[in-house]
Amino acid sequence: MGQYTYEILLACGVLSPLVSFWLLVFAGPKLGKPAAGWVAVVLGMGVPLVLATIVLIGWLGETEGGRAALTAGAYRGTWAYIGTIPVTVGVKLDSLTVAMFFMVTLIAFLIFVFSIGYMKGHSDEVAGKSKYHRFFAYLSLFGFSMLGLVLSSSLLFLFIFWELVGLCSYLLIGYYFDKGFASAAAMKAFITNRVGDFGFLIGLMLVFMHLGTLDLDEAATVFAQQYAAGTGIFASHFTLFGWSLATIMGVGLFCGAMGKSAQFPLHVWLPDAMAGPTPVSALIHAATMVAAGVYLVARVYRLMTPEALAFVALIGCLTLTLMALIAIVQVDIKKCLAYSTLSQLGYMIFAMGCGAWIAALFHLITHAFFKAMLFLCSGQVIEGCHHEQDMRKMGGLMKKMPVTGITFLVGVLAIAGTGIPIPGAEIAGRKIGLGGFFSKDEILAVAYVRAFEWDDISKHEEHGEAHGAGHTAAPEPEGSRAMLVADRTQAEHHDEHQPAAAAHGAQSTHDSHGGADRAAIFKDMKKLPSWMFYLAIFTAYVTPFYMMRCWWMTFMGKPRDQHVYDHAHETPLMYVPLVVLAIGTFVSSYFLFRPLIEDASHSATSAAMVLATDGELGTEAIHAAHGWLRWYVGGAFLVGFIVAIAIYRNGLGLAEQLKKVFLPIHTILWNKYYFDEVYDVVWVKGCVLVAHIARFFDTYFIDLLVNLSAAVTERIAAFSGLVIDNHGIDGIVNGIAKTSIDIGGVARAPQTGRIRNYVLFATAVATVVVVCVLAFGMDSGSGAATVASSVAP
C-alpha cells in the first residue's frame, strides 16, 4: 500500500467513532433501544476494526525497510504555533501503533457487542428517561479518543486525547449518575487523573522549553543530540532530590502514566471506577485506557533517563505487590479483578522501568485480552446472578453457566502465566503456554538480569564498543551493542536465531532518532535493587492464588446462596465475545503481536535497552536466566492454584479461620492500607478547608483592614463622635466609603453652627498659616521696627 494509504485508513478508523458519537448525540433518542447500540457497534467499532485489519495485513506484508520508510515518511501537518514553535498533528505510524490499533479495535468491538446484550438486561431508564443512546455515544467517543491517543504523533495531541479518554471514563463511570457513589467515583477518577496530568504538564513544559518541539520523534532526536553535546536540558545544573532536569522531565511525563494506569500513589480511583457498567470496566478500566499509561511510557521511552526509569521501576514494583495483596482479600468479584488489573499494570510499568520494553507491551496486549475477557465473564456472572457481586454468595455456578466458567478459567490460567516450562515441550520452536506465561516470564528475566548481571553486561558493552567500532559501519555504541548481541547469538545459539539477530543489528544500525547517544546514557545505568526482583517474583506466586480463589469461589464448590443460584443463566449475545476473546488469549497474542512489538522496539526505543526480547532471543545472561527462571515462574501457577484450591475446596470455612489467624494483616488489606481515608483527610478535606479559609479571607480579612483604618480614622476624629457601623460590609470599598464618612465627620466637626467658633477656627488656621509662611516661606525679617526706621522722617 502507498505511503498515505495507511494514514488515511487509520484516520478514518479514528473518525468513524466520532461520527457515530455525534449521530447518537443528535439522533440517539429517536433510534431507540437496540438500534442505537447497533449504530455504535457498526459505525463506532465495526468500521475501525475492518480498517485496522486491512492495515494490519498490509503492514505485515511490508518489509523491514518498507516499514521504516513508512514510519519516517508518515504524515505531519502543523496544527498551531505555540509561540514560534509549530505543533504538528500527524500519525505515528509504526508496528506498535498498528498492533495497538488492532488490539483496541478488536477488543472494543467485542465489548460493544457484549454491551448490547448487557444493556438489554439493565434498566437504562432513570426517572422515565432512557439513557441507552447516551451509553453508546460515550462508548463511541471513547473509541475515538483511544484510537486518537494511539495514533497521535505529538505529545500535545497525546495529552489532548489523554484528557479525552479521561473524560469518557468520567462520563461512563458516572453513567449511573443518579446513584451517589457512581458520580462520586467518576469525580474521583477524573481528579486523580488530573493530579497525574499536572505532572504530565510539567513534563510537557520541560520538553517544550528544552527540546523545542512537541513531536515525539523530533523530541527524541533533539534529546539525543543534546545529550551528546551536553547542551540544552543537559546543560542545566538544576537538580531536585538529586534528579537532573532531564530526569524530572521523564518523571513528569511518567506522572501522567501513573494517573491513567493507576499506579501506586494514584491507584485509588480504579477500584471505585468499577461503579460503572461492567463492559465499561472491561473496556476502559482493564483493557485499553488504563494501559494507555504504559503506552505513553513506551512512546516517551526515548526521553527517559536511567534515573527516571529507576523511578518508574520502583513505582511499578510497589504497585504490583501491594495491589496483588489487596486482591487476596477481596470478595467483590469485580473489585477482585480490579486489583488484579492494578497488579498487572504494575508489572507492565515495572517492566518498562527495568527496560523490558517489548515484554511490557507484550504483557499489555496479552493482559488486555484476558482481562477484558475476565471482566466480561464477571459481567456475565453478575448479570446472571441478578446483580450479585459478592463471591461469598456464589459458588457452583459452573453447571449454570459453563461457557462463562470455562472462559473465565482460561483467563485465570492466562493471567497466572500457565505454560509448560519443560525444555522439550515445544511446538514449532515455541513454548506452549498462555499469554501471561511468556510475558511475565520475560519481564522477570529482564528484571533478574538488571538486578544481578547488569554490571557484566555494561562491561561487555565497553568492550563491545571497541569491538563494534571496527566491526560495523555504524560507529555508535548502540549499534555495536546490537552487534554484540548479534555476535553472541551467532556464537552461541542455534541458527534459527541468527536472522532475527541480524535483523536486530540491521535495525539498530539504520535506526533513526540518534539512538546512539541514548545507548550511551544507559552505560551509567545503575543495577536494579534486588528486592524489586524478589517482590516481582513473589507476586508471580500470589497472582495465581487470588485468581484461582476468585474462580473457585465463583464457579466451584456448592452454591452458597440458593436464590442467586436459581437465577443464574447466560445469554449467547454475551458469551460469543467471550469465546472469541478466549481464543485470542490463546493464540493471537503470541504469534501475532510479539513480533510486531519487537519490530517496533528498534525504532521506538533506540534498541540499547531492548535486552529482553523473549525467552529465546537475547543476551546469554537472559538466556541463562531463562534457563532456571522458567522453573520458578513457570511453576508459580501450580503452587498458587494448589494453595487456593486447598483453602477453598470446601466452602469458606478454612478461609474464615485463616482470616482470624491473620486478623491484623487482613484488616489492613481489607481497608486497602487506608489510602482512601488518608487521601480524604489530607487532600479532599484539606483542600476544602483551604478553600474555606480563602473564602473567609476574601470576605472578612479585607474587612478587618477596613475596620482598622476606620478605627484609626476614629482616633483622629475622636471628637467627631461617629460610631462605626459594622453591618453589611465586605470589601475595601465600604472601607473607603466608611472611612470617608468618618473623615467627613472630622471635616464637618468644626461646622458647629456657632458663628463665634467659625471666627475662632478661621483666625486660628489663618494664624497657623501666617506662622508657617513666616517660618518656611521666607526668612523672618526684623519686623515692624525696621519698617518704622526705614520710613522714619
Partner 1 sequence: MLSIGLTHYLVVAAVLLCTGLFTIMTKRNAIGILIGVELLLNAANVNLVAFDRFREGGLFDGQIMALFIIVLAAAEAAIAVGICINVYKNLATVDVDSARQLQG
Partner 2 sequence: MDLLTLIVFLPALGGLLCLFVPRAQVRVVAVLASLATLLVSLLLFPTFLGGAEAAESIFGTSYGKLQHVIRLPWITGEGFEIEYFLGIDGLGFPLIILTTLVSFLSCLASWNFDTWKINKGIRGYFFLFLLLETGMLGVFVSLDFFLFYIFWEVMLLPMYFLIGVWGGPRKEYAAIKFFLFTLAGSVLMLVALVAMYFYGGAAIEAAGGSVPSGYRVTDSGAPVAITHGTFDLIELATNDVIQKYFSAKATLFLGMRFAPIMFMFLFIGFAIKLPSVPFHTWLPDAHVEAPTPISMILAGVLLKMGGYGFLRLCYPIFPLGGEYWAFLLATVGVVSILYGALCAMAQTDFKKLVAYSSVSHMGYVLLGIAVMTPAGFQGAMFQMIAHGISSPMCFFLVGVIYDRAHHREINRFGGLWLTMPKYGTMATIGFFASLGLPGLCGFIGEVWVLLGTFDAGSKYTWAYPMAILAAAGVILTAGYILWLIRRVYLGNEREEYRGFPDASGREIFILVPMAILCIALGVLPMQTVFNFTNGTLDLLLAGVTDTINAMI
Partner 3 sequence: MSFLAQTDPWAGIDVGEQLFAFSPMIALICTMLAVVTCPLLFGRGPRPIAIVVAVGVIVTFYLAMRVAGVVSTGAISGLSPGGAGGMLIADPLSAGFQIILMVFLAGIFWLWWMGSAATERNAPEFFILLLGSALGMALMVSTLNLLLIVVAIETASLPSYAIVGFDKRDKAGAEAALKYMVFGSVSAAVMLYGISLLYGLVGSLNVADLAQYVATMGFHTGESSVLLSVGLLAFFAGIAFKVSAVPFHFWCPDAFEGAKVEVTTWLSVASKAAGLILLARVALTFCAAVEAPLNMQFLEPVAWVIGIVAAVTCTIGNFSAYKQESVKRLLAYSSIAHAGYMMMAAAVFVYAGSPGYTAGLTALLVYIIIYMFMNLGAFGITALVVWDGGSDKLDAFNGLMRRAPWLAIPMIICLMSLVGLPPFAGFIGKWWILVALGGLDSTLGWFLVIAAVANTLISLYFYLRIVVRMVFAEDQRAAVRAPVGGIALVNLCALALLLLFVFAQPLKTSAEQLSRGMYQAVASNTSDSSSARVADSGS
Q: Pick from partner 3, partner 1, partner 2, none: which does 180 bind, CB < 5 to 8 A by kind?
A: partner 2
Phi and psi at 143, nearest 5°, equal -55, -45
Tell me: does residue 77 bind partner 2 (CB under 8 A). no
CA 345 to chain CA centroid, Å, is 10
**Could you tell me where the DSSP H helices lie in 398-529?**
402-416, 435-448, 454-471, 477-492, 497-509, 515-523
- Rounded to whole angstroms, the Cα distance separating 520 from 52 reads 37
Q: Pick from partner 1, partner 3, partner 2, none: which does 731 bind, CB < 5 to 8 A by kind?
A: partner 2
Tell me: does residue 698 bind partner 2 (CB under 8 A). yes
Phi and psi at 430, nearest 5°, equal -110, 140
Q: Are 316 and 352 in contact (CB under 8 A)?
A: yes
- Rounded to whole angstroms, the Cα distance separating 148 from 101 reads 9
Cβ-based nearer residue to partner 1, 205 or 760: 760
Tell me: does residue 159 bind partner 2 (CB under 8 A). yes
Cβ-based nearer residue to partner 1, 242 or 753: 753
Q: Pick from partner 2, partner 1, partner 3, none: which does 765 bind, CB < 5 to 8 A by kind?
A: partner 3
- Rounded to whole angstroms, the Cα distance separating 518 from 347 reads 24
Tell me: does residue 399 bind partner 2 (CB under 8 A). no
Would you tell me which residues interact with partner 3 (CB under 8 A)? 736-737, 740-741, 743-748, 750-751, 753, 755, 758-759, 761-762, 764-766, 769-770, 773-774, 776-784, 786-787, 790-791
Q: Pick from partner 3, partner 2, partner 1, none: which does 201 bind, CB < 5 to 8 A by kind?
A: partner 2
- Per-residue binder mask for partner 2 (CB under 8 A), 702-731, x = binder: x-------------------------x-xx
Cβ-based nearer residue to partner 2, 129 or 715: 129
| Residue of 692, 767, 768, 774 interacting with partner 2 (CB under 8 A) | 692
Q: Pick from partner 3, partner 1, partner 2, none: which does 766 bind, CB < 5 to 8 A by kind?
A: partner 3
What's the half-sphere exposure (Cβ side, CA atoms, 13 Å) at 706? Answer: 25
> For residue 80, what are the β-bridge partners?
87
C-alpha cell at 117: 446484550
- Residues 179-218 contacting partner 2, CB under 8 A: 179-180, 183-184, 186-187, 190-191, 194-195, 197-198, 201-202, 204-206, 208-209
In terms of C-beta distances under 8 Å and separation of at least 24 residues, what long-range contacts does 58-61 make, across chains too? 58/1, 58/5, 58/6, 59/6, 59/95, 59/98, 59/596
DSSP, residue by residue, 196-212: HHHHHHHHHHHIIIII-
Tell me: does residue 733 bind partner 2 (CB under 8 A). yes
Q: Residue 94 Cβ, how far from partner 2 at the closest point, in Å?
A: 24
How many residues in the chain? 793
Cβ-based nearer residue to partner 3, 678 or 787: 787
**3-state secondary structure at position 430:** strand
Tell me: does residue 743 bind partner 2 (CB under 8 A). no
C-alpha cell at 338: 480490579
Cβ-based nearer residue to partner 3, 27 or 769: 769
Residue with cell 458520580: 183
Among 444, 639, 631, which residue's Cα sits nearest to residue 548?
A: 639
Q: Are 281 and 380 in contact (CB under 8 A)?
A: no
In this structure, the number of other CB atoms found within 10 A of the CB of residue 669 comes to 18
Cβ-based nearer residue to partner 2, 137 or 622: 137
Q: Residue 318 Cβ, how far from partner 2 at the closest point, in Å?
A: 23
Q: Pick from partner 2, partner 3, partner 1, none: which does 121 bind, CB < 5 to 8 A by kind?
A: none
- Rounded to whole angstroms, the Cα distance separating 580 from 163 reads 31
Q: Pick from partner 3, partner 1, partner 2, none: which does 129 bind, CB < 5 to 8 A by kind?
A: partner 2
| Residue of 72, 658, 682, 691 interacting with partner 2 (CB under 8 A) | 691
Residue with cell 528498534: 602
Would you tell me which residues interact with partner 1 (CB under 8 A)? 748, 751-756, 759-760, 763, 784-785, 787-788, 791-793
> For residue 240, what are the β-bridge partners?
243
Among 416, 258, 418, which residue's Cα sits nearest to residue 348?
A: 258
Tell me: does residue 32 bind partner 2 (CB under 8 A). no
Range in contact with partner 2 (rule: CB under 8 A) among 369-377, 407-415, 693-701, 766-774:
693-701
**3-state secondary structure at position 59:** helix
Which sign does the torsion angle of CA 247, 290, 108, 357 carry? positive
Cβ-based nearer residue to partner 3, 69 or 769: 769
- Per-residue binder mask for partner 2 (CB under 8 A), 592-611, x = binder: --------------------
User: In sequence order, which residues have a C-beta less than 8 Å from that of residue 39 and are 6 or more positions away?
Assistant: 20, 23, 24, 31, 136
User: Pairing between strand 85-90 and 76-82?
Assistant: antiparallel
**3-state secondary structure at position 300:** coil
Q: Are 283 and 108 in contact (CB under 8 A)?
A: yes
Cβ-based nearer residue to partner 3, 680 or 730: 730
Cβ-based nearer residue to partner 1, 463 or 754: 754
Q: Pick from partner 3, partner 1, partner 2, none: which does 780 bind, CB < 5 to 8 A by kind?
A: partner 3
Cβ-based nearer residue to partner 3, 466 or 759: 759
Residues that bind partner 2 (CB under 8 A): 25, 79-85, 126-127, 129, 156, 159-164, 167, 170, 174, 177-180, 183-184, 186-187, 190-191, 194-195, 197-198, 201-202, 204-206, 208-209, 687-688, 690-692, 694-695, 698, 702, 728, 730-734, 736-737
